[in-house]
């Protein structure tokens, strides 16, 4: 009988990511067959896993959704927080966001029940592209574009070099492979610019397209196949 790490089994159930599962185990909130679980424990398909006494299933089909997050929605799974993303999307099964978009930002975000895919997409060393359209408060100069491309000192580090192109006098496109906290806003602030509008239009091979604000769609089979090929050699959470 195949055994797998408890945190992996929990993530594959769609309950949360492996890292979050480890935290729950450390907090003593996970039980296996009614007994407290320990980090590193392995489980079989016949074992009953529960969180705070409530059994979770490990037989969910994987769900992959593209959601156009409106401005004002908080990327949190805590449904007690007003305007949280879970209540906003109101999907009939348990899902969670891959990464985040700031509350004042809008655009494409992935939602899934597959905790195993999260770090494959998010870790910056995997060099997966995310594309944004940004409107700022004043005219964009060549020196601003060049500075943004070459790396900006924020959060005690220099951002990775990236692709930046001018759309119109106060709008530019930027393609990042990092996901630092409020990265684009901080990069712009370094050069004296203020972000007025920030919209993510692409993650890897998935485009926002004409998806309306507040609406979602499932990945097409072609998109999912391409995505799996792109992340096939990516590092992830440790088993």
Give the residue numbers annotated as catalytic, written as ranges: 102
- CA–CA dist 170, 164 (Å, integer): 13
Distances from the Cα of 12 to the Cα of 5, 40, 52, 118, 224, angstroms: 11, 16, 18, 11, 17
CB atoms within 10 A of CB 228: 12
Query: How does 78-95 read in b/e, with b if 16+ C-beta sit within 10 Å?
Result: eeeeeebbbebbeeeebb
* Structural Rg of the chain based on CA atoms: 20
Of 108, 109, 14, the C-alpha closest to 63 is 14
Helix (H) / strand (E) element for 193: namely none
Torsions phi, psi for 131 (to 5 deg): -115, 140
- CA–CA dist 68, 213 (Å, integer): 5
User: Which tokens is 106 given?
Assistant: 């809008």
């Amino acid at each position: 009988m195949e055994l797998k790490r408890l945190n992996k089994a929990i993530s594959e159930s769609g309950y949360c990511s492996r890292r979050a599962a480890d935290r729950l185990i450390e907090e003593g909130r996970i039980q296996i067959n009614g007994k407290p679980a320990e980090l590193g424990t392995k489980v079989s398909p016949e074992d009953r896993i529960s969180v705070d006494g409530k059994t979770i299933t490990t037989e969910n089909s994987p769900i992959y959704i593209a959601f156009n997050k409106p401005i004002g929605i908080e990327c949190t799974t805590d449904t007690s927080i007003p305007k949280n993303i879970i209540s906003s999307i109101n999907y009939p099964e348990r899902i969670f966001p891959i990464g985040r978009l700031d509350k004042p930002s809008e655009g494409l975000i992935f939602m899934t029940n597959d905790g195993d895919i999260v770090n494959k997409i998010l870790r910056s060393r995997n060099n997966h592209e995310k594309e944004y359209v940004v409107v700022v408060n004043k005219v964009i100069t060549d020196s601003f574009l060049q500075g943004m491309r070459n790396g900006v000192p924020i959060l005690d580090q220099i951002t990775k070099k990236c692709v930046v192109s001018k759309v119109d006098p106060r709008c530019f496109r930027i393609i990042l492979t990092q996901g630092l906290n409020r990265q684009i806003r901080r990069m712009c602030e370094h050069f004296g610019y203020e972000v007025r509008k920030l919209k993510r239009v692409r993650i890897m091979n998935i485009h926002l397209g004409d998806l309306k604000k507040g609406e979602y769609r499932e990945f097409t089979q072609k998109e999912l196949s391409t995505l799996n090929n792109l992340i096939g050699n990516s590092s992830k959470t440790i088993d």
